[in-house]
Amino acid sequence: MTTVFRSFSARQLTAFFLMLGAIVGLGAYTFVYANGASYLSDNPQACANCHVMHTQYENWNKSGHKHVANCNDCHMPNNSFFAKYAAKSYNGFMHASAFTIGDYPDTLTITNFNRDVTLLNCVRCHEGVVSSMAKVGTADQADCLSCHRGVGH
Protein backbone atom coordinates (compact mmCIF):
# COMPACT_ATOMS: atom_id res chain seq x y z
CA MET A 1 0.00 0.00 0.00
CA THR A 2 2.89 2.36 0.69
CA THR A 3 3.93 2.06 -2.95
CA VAL A 4 0.60 3.65 -3.91
CA PHE A 5 1.33 6.69 -1.76
CA ARG A 6 4.89 7.01 -3.12
CA SER A 7 3.53 8.01 -6.53
CA PHE A 8 1.97 11.15 -5.01
CA SER A 9 3.74 14.22 -3.73
CA ALA A 10 3.48 15.28 -0.09
CA ARG A 11 1.32 18.20 -1.21
CA GLN A 12 -1.12 15.91 -3.06
CA LEU A 13 -1.34 13.53 -0.10
CA THR A 14 -1.97 16.42 2.28
CA ALA A 15 -4.73 17.76 0.03
CA PHE A 16 -6.26 14.29 -0.28
CA PHE A 17 -6.31 13.65 3.46
CA LEU A 18 -7.63 17.15 4.18
CA MET A 19 -10.50 16.60 1.73
CA LEU A 20 -11.15 13.12 3.14
CA GLY A 21 -11.15 14.54 6.68
CA ALA A 22 -13.52 17.32 5.66
CA ILE A 23 -15.93 14.84 4.04
CA VAL A 24 -15.85 12.48 7.05
CA GLY A 25 -16.15 15.42 9.47
CA LEU A 26 -19.07 16.96 7.58
CA GLY A 27 -20.77 13.57 7.37
CA ALA A 28 -20.31 12.97 11.12
CA TYR A 29 -21.56 16.48 11.97
CA THR A 30 -24.63 16.02 9.74
CA PHE A 31 -25.35 12.60 11.26
CA VAL A 32 -25.22 14.02 14.80
CA TYR A 33 -27.09 17.25 13.91
CA ALA A 34 -29.89 15.31 12.16
CA ASN A 35 -30.21 12.75 14.99
CA GLY A 36 -29.11 10.07 12.54
CA ALA A 37 -28.88 7.32 15.15
CA SER A 38 -32.56 7.76 15.97
CA TYR A 39 -33.50 6.60 12.46
CA LEU A 40 -31.90 3.22 13.13
CA SER A 41 -34.48 2.53 15.83
CA ASP A 42 -38.20 1.83 15.74
CA ASN A 43 -38.96 4.85 17.93
CA PRO A 44 -41.81 6.83 16.33
CA GLN A 45 -40.33 10.10 17.62
CA ALA A 46 -37.61 9.69 14.99
CA CYS A 47 -40.28 10.26 12.34
CA ALA A 48 -41.14 13.57 14.02
CA ASN A 49 -37.55 14.85 13.78
CA CYS A 50 -38.68 16.64 10.62
CA HIS A 51 -41.15 19.45 11.22
CA VAL A 52 -43.35 18.31 8.32
CA MET A 53 -44.17 15.07 10.13
CA HIS A 54 -45.34 16.59 13.43
CA THR A 55 -49.02 16.43 12.45
CA GLN A 56 -48.77 12.76 11.47
CA TYR A 57 -46.90 11.95 14.69
CA GLU A 58 -49.45 13.76 16.86
CA ASN A 59 -52.35 12.08 15.06
CA TRP A 60 -50.70 8.65 15.44
CA ASN A 61 -50.08 9.43 19.12
CA LYS A 62 -53.86 9.89 19.60
CA SER A 63 -54.90 6.94 17.42
CA GLY A 64 -55.73 3.36 18.27
CA HIS A 65 -52.70 2.19 16.27
CA LYS A 66 -50.37 3.74 18.85
CA HIS A 67 -50.88 0.72 21.09
CA VAL A 68 -50.19 -1.90 18.44
CA ALA A 69 -47.96 -0.41 15.73
CA ASN A 70 -45.19 2.13 15.25
CA CYS A 71 -44.25 3.94 12.04
CA ASN A 72 -41.97 1.14 10.83
CA ASP A 73 -44.62 -1.53 11.37
CA CYS A 74 -46.78 0.13 8.72
CA HIS A 75 -44.33 2.01 6.50
CA MET A 76 -41.34 -0.36 6.22
CA PRO A 77 -41.08 -3.87 4.79
CA ASN A 78 -41.35 -6.39 7.61
CA ASN A 79 -40.38 -9.52 5.71
CA SER A 80 -36.63 -9.26 6.39
CA PHE A 81 -34.04 -7.21 8.23
CA PHE A 82 -32.29 -6.42 4.94
CA ALA A 83 -35.46 -5.23 3.19
CA LYS A 84 -36.39 -3.02 6.15
CA TYR A 85 -33.02 -1.30 6.40
CA ALA A 86 -32.62 -1.05 2.62
CA ALA A 87 -35.95 0.81 2.48
CA LYS A 88 -35.03 2.94 5.51
CA SER A 89 -31.71 3.85 3.85
CA TYR A 90 -33.32 4.72 0.53
CA ASN A 91 -36.12 6.73 2.15
CA GLY A 92 -33.65 8.45 4.46
CA PHE A 93 -31.44 9.46 1.56
CA MET A 94 -34.39 10.77 -0.44
CA HIS A 95 -35.82 12.67 2.55
CA ALA A 96 -32.45 14.15 3.52
CA SER A 97 -31.83 15.23 -0.06
CA ALA A 98 -35.26 16.84 -0.39
CA PHE A 99 -35.04 18.67 2.93
CA THR A 100 -31.46 19.79 2.34
CA ILE A 101 -32.23 21.41 -1.00
CA GLY A 102 -35.77 22.43 0.02
CA ASP A 103 -37.40 20.43 -2.77
CA TYR A 104 -40.48 18.98 -1.08
CA PRO A 105 -44.17 19.85 -1.34
CA ASP A 106 -46.15 21.45 1.49
CA THR A 107 -48.44 18.42 1.49
CA LEU A 108 -46.48 15.20 1.54
CA THR A 109 -47.73 12.30 -0.54
CA ILE A 110 -46.67 8.70 -0.22
CA THR A 111 -44.60 7.22 -3.05
CA ASN A 112 -45.90 4.21 -4.99
CA PHE A 113 -43.27 1.96 -3.40
CA ASN A 114 -44.12 3.07 0.14
CA ARG A 115 -47.85 2.82 -0.60
CA ASP A 116 -47.39 -0.79 -1.72
CA VAL A 117 -45.39 -1.56 1.44
CA THR A 118 -48.09 0.02 3.59
CA LEU A 119 -50.86 -1.94 1.85
CA LEU A 120 -49.01 -5.22 2.37
CA ASN A 121 -48.58 -4.36 6.05
CA CYS A 122 -52.30 -3.57 6.41
CA VAL A 123 -53.09 -7.02 5.06
CA ARG A 124 -50.37 -8.65 7.19
CA CYS A 125 -51.77 -7.22 10.44
CA HIS A 126 -55.44 -7.53 9.55
CA GLU A 127 -55.17 -10.82 7.66
CA GLY A 128 -57.93 -12.55 9.62
CA VAL A 129 -60.41 -9.85 8.67
CA VAL A 130 -59.36 -9.07 5.10
CA SER A 131 -57.88 -12.30 3.75
CA SER A 132 -60.94 -13.15 1.68
CA MET A 133 -61.23 -9.70 0.15
CA ALA A 134 -57.59 -8.55 -0.09
CA LYS A 135 -56.59 -10.76 -3.05
CA VAL A 136 -52.93 -9.77 -2.55
CA GLY A 137 -50.76 -10.16 -5.63
CA THR A 138 -53.66 -10.21 -8.08
CA ALA A 139 -55.06 -7.55 -10.39
CA ASP A 140 -58.07 -7.35 -8.06
CA GLN A 141 -55.99 -6.62 -4.97
CA ALA A 142 -57.91 -4.50 -2.48
CA ASP A 143 -56.69 -0.95 -1.92
CA CYS A 144 -57.13 -0.49 1.83
CA LEU A 145 -55.88 3.09 1.66
CA SER A 146 -58.59 4.22 -0.75
CA CYS A 147 -61.10 4.05 2.13
CA HIS A 148 -58.84 3.99 5.19
CA ARG A 149 -56.37 6.69 4.19
CA GLY A 150 -56.24 8.47 7.54
CA VAL A 151 -56.12 5.36 9.70
CA GLY A 152 -52.99 5.24 11.81
CA HIS A 153 -52.35 8.96 11.66
Nearest to 91 by CA among 61, 121, 30, 50: 50
Q: Mind giving me the DSSP string for 5-45?
A: HHTS-HHHHHHHHHHHHHHHHHHHHHHHHTTGGGGGS--GG
User: Does the pLDDT of residue 21 top 90, yes or no?
Assistant: yes
For residue range 111-134, what is the model confidence (pLDDT) as tens digits? 899 998 998 898 889 888 887 777
Average pLDDT over residues 40-66: 85
Across the chain, mean pLDDT equals: 85
Nearest to 77 by CA among 89, 95, 62: 89
Query: The whole model's pTM is what?
Result: 0.72
Q: Which helix (H) or strand (E) holds 58?
A: helix 54-62
